[in-house]
Structure 1
Amino acid sequence: MKTVLFKVALQKYKNTVSILKKGFEQERYRIEQLCRSELSNKPTHKITSVDIAEYRDLRLSEINPRTKKALSPASVRLELSLLSSVFDICRIEWGYCEGNPVTNVRKPKPSPGRERRLTAREEKLILRYAYSHKNKDLYAIVVFALETAMRQGEILNLKWEHLNLKSRIAHLPETKNGSKRDVPLSIAARDVVISMGVKSKGRVFGYTKFGIKSTWRFMLQKLGIEDLHFHDLRHEAISRLFEKGTLEMMEIAAISGHKSLSMLKRYTHLKAQKLVSKLEGNKNKGRQVIIAESHEF
């Protein structure tokens, strides 16, 4: 059994395994956090499930420096998942340990799905601000996000050569879940892209992920809008697809790129007011008129 400090194993994992993943930046950040922990100075083969449980409890008690709130259970679950992957590689491929101490450690309970919906007032304020912004890409990106339900990364990486404006299809050769997909474009989505000036190749939008993040944060502060993430536009778009009532769940999954229908349900927080009229189809129309008339007397 090789005696290797865990921080050495973490760095080796980052340089040989993490670097090959699409989510390398996020995983690199988590590895840096782990390298600052007490676990990092222990020999890999001597780390026990007790050590992992203590690390879990310590992280759950810490405050996120950005949000000033307790670290979310979801964040800790991701760190434990990474730890488990590191120990598996250390055990199977590198011979640094004989077991995986993360296996029997209880994971924090998953947080409930985010239920933030964009209000009509917020949408109006954001679109007005984005339309008058010096970078015209901002307005186009917001409209495109609400019309297509595409992820931020998919929008920013979209290329002209993957757009068929005649058939209104956006081809995504690479997505978060590793599968390519074609996204149908609404007329509004197509028109906002055309308004930017059609090109033969290259990225459609000029923003980087850091640029849109900074612009989005500044815009919300300026408009006085709280707790709205850019990703919430995707939530909103998917929910609106359901509220249209013309698409089946599998069709919406094909648009959004969700492989798991249970995960898709977490994104759909339908407004009850828009569902009332669908409870009994058109049978209730007459009754609604009578009720409305009775209130006049």
Structure 2
Amino acid sequence: MEGKLVGVHKLRVKLADGSFATYYYAWRGKGAPRIMSKPGTKAFTQEFLRLTKDRQKDVREGTIGSLIEDFRKTAGYGKLAPSTRRDYERQLATIRLEYETFPIRAVEARGSRMIFMNWRDGMKEAPRSADMHLALLARVFAWAKSNEIILRNPLERIERLHEGSRRDIIWSNEQLRKVLDHAAPHIRDVAKIALWTMQRQTDILSMPTLAFDGERVSIRQAKTGAKVRVVAAMDILPILRKAKEAQRQRILVNSFGQNWTPSGFRASWRKEMARLGIKGVTFHDLRGTAITYAYAHLDRSHDEKIKLIAEISGHSQDEAEVIIRKHYLAGQEVIDAIGRGTKRK
């Protein structure tokens, strides 16, 4: 693995007892930090990326490295949600390890598509991650083509390796009852808000107390920018009122009464799910669960159900049918089972 990391400095030294040891450094020269992880491992690569991410680099013009630098300076990139930008930075660093000096003219050449596809397929043991890396590289190329830097995007219409979907993975009644009845209060409150507002984790944790006017919660979604107003259900009114009475900055806080951090919440959530013995479902699956349960129990026509769910979830009416069915709404068999009050076997 270390052979693929451009800049890693390998040094073999003689120890006091006469034996030899090999040390690895993030770069050659004075002040270079030593990489402590085992060479050839994923941890080694991650440590190298962490140590070098803020180091100034000489970027050669006319290469994929220069394309990435220009892409990162765009207004659109700057407007990305912080969590999305962090993911992109990590993925772009991996792309640059492989293609930093790859010439732009070679990107346009016939046969380049196969080069990038083979690179993606080399990560097939983690298909979703492989798809995400290639999709981001394709996005860089699409931006370059749109700005007439390249004439052809070789990664248009790429089939994914990962075909899995979590839309049929919903929380069972038993799992929901465990969280709602037995979880620690600071975890239970987050789950309740998620179920009754159908919002993403980022928007829930950052929801300001001012967003609650006594009857409704106003939400501006970080990912899409959509503005949503949700009537506060009876189940979450006590949580909202408590936050307002305490004059908290945010509605949801951790066990210390402090604002949640994304990493802090993820760690607390994992720990609590382990304590409760809940497996096979994620926090994100709560959104699909809420949407599926709502669809199963609403006494409306299909179109009316989709419209009502879209108004809460933040999707436009035009895209609601496709997006909700593709990503969140469970299959008809699951919906029918929920409607009958039974579990899918």
Which amino acid in 2 is paired with 1:240? Y
Q: Equivalent residue for 1:192? A: 239
Q: What is the 5 A alignment of 1:189-228?
A: 189-196=236-243, 198-200=245-247, 202-205=249-252, 206-228=259-281
Q: Equivalent residue for 1:33? A: 94
Question: Aligned match of 2:135 in 51, 76, 81?
Answer: 81
Q: Equivalent residue for 1:46? A: 106
**Distance in structure 2 (CA, Å) of the matches to 1:92 and 1:273:** 47
Corresponding residue SS for 2:71: helix
Deviation string for 1:158-184 (max 9, x for gaps)?
A: 11111122x2x1111344222211122
**Distance in structure 2 (CA, Å) of the matches to 1:258 and 1:87:** 28
Change (3 A) 1:8 1:213: same
Which amino acid in 1 is paired with 2:313? S
**Distance in structure 2 (CA, Å) of the matches to 1:228 and 1:127:** 15
Corresponding residue SS for 2:236: helix
Asked whether the equivalents of residues 6 and 44 of structure 1 are also in contact (C-alpha less than 8 Å), the reply is: yes
Q: Equivalent residue for 2:187? A: 138
**Distance in structure 1 (CA, Å) of the matches to 2:310 and 2:287:** 13
Q: In the TM superposition, what is the alpha-carbon distance from 1:112 to its structure 2 partner?
A: 4.4
Asked whether the equivalents of residues 130 and 138 of structure 1 are also in contact (C-alpha less than 8 Å), the reply is: yes
Q: Which moves more between the two structures, 21-30 or 194-203?
A: 194-203
Deviation string for 1:242-279 (max 9, x for gaps)?
A: 122235220111111123211112312244334359xx
Q: Which moves more between the two structures, 262-271 or 54-63?
A: 54-63
Q: Equivalent residue for 1:106? A: 158
What 5-or-longer segments of structure 2 have no aligned partner? 1-59, 253-258
Q: Equivalent residue for 1:18? A: 77
Q: In the TM superposition, what is the alpha-carbon distance from 1:94 to its structure 2 partner?
A: 7.2
Deviation string for 1:43-80 (max 9, x for gaps)?
A: 122124633433334334426xxxxxx3235x444433
Q: Which protein, 1 or 2, shows the higher relative CO under an 8 Å CA cutoff with sep ≥ 6?
A: 1
Asked whether the equivalents of residues 49 and 102 of structure 1 are also in contact (C-alpha less than 8 Å), the reply is: no
Deviation string for 1:186-244 (max 9, x for gaps)?
A: 11011233245634562222212111111112222333332321101111111111122
- TM-score between both structures, scaled by the size of structure 1: 0.76
Which amino acid in 1 is paired with 2:65? K
Q: Equivalent residue for 2:308? A: 251
TM superposition outliers: structure 1 runs of 4+ over 4 Å = none
Corresponding residue SS for 1:113: coil
**Distance in structure 2 (CA, Å) of the matches to 1:151 and 1:214:** 17
Q: Equivalent residue for 1:153? A: 202
Change (3 A) 1:156 1:257: same
Identity %: 18
Q: What is the 5 A alignment of 1:108-123?
A: 108=160, 111-114=163-166, 115-123=168-176
CA RMSD of aligned residues (A): 2.7
2:282 matches 1:229: yes
Which amino acid in 2 is paired with 1:19? G
Which amino acid in 2 is paired with 1:118? W
Corresponding residue SS for 1:230: coil
Aligned length: 260
- TM-score between both structures, scaled by the size of structure 2: 0.67
Question: Aligned match of 1:126 in 168, 175, 179?
Answer: 179
Which amino acid in 2 is paired with 1:198? E
Q: In the TM superposition, what is the alpha-carbon distance from 1:18 to its structure 2 partner?
A: 2.2
Change (3 A) 1:59 1:85: closer
Change (3 A) 1:196 1:171: closer
Change (3 A) 1:274 1:20: closer
2:65 matches 1:7: yes
Change (3 A) 1:89 1:117: closer
What 5-or-longer segments of structure 1 have no aligned partner? 64-69, 278-297
Change (3 A) 1:60 1:216: farther
Which amino acid in 2 is paired with 1:83? L
Asked whether the equivalents of residues 291 and 309 of structure 2 are also in contact (C-alpha less than 8 Å), the reply is: yes
Deviation string for 1:101-140 (max 9, x for gaps)?
A: 223x632266243121112222233334423xxxx43221
Asked whether the equivalents of residues 18 and 24 of structure 1 are also in contact (C-alpha less than 8 Å), the reply is: yes
Q: In the TM superposition, what is the alpha-carbon distance from 1:20 to its structure 2 partner?
A: 2.6
2:328 matches 1:264: no
**Distance in structure 2 (CA, Å) of the matches to 1:55 and 1:225:** 39
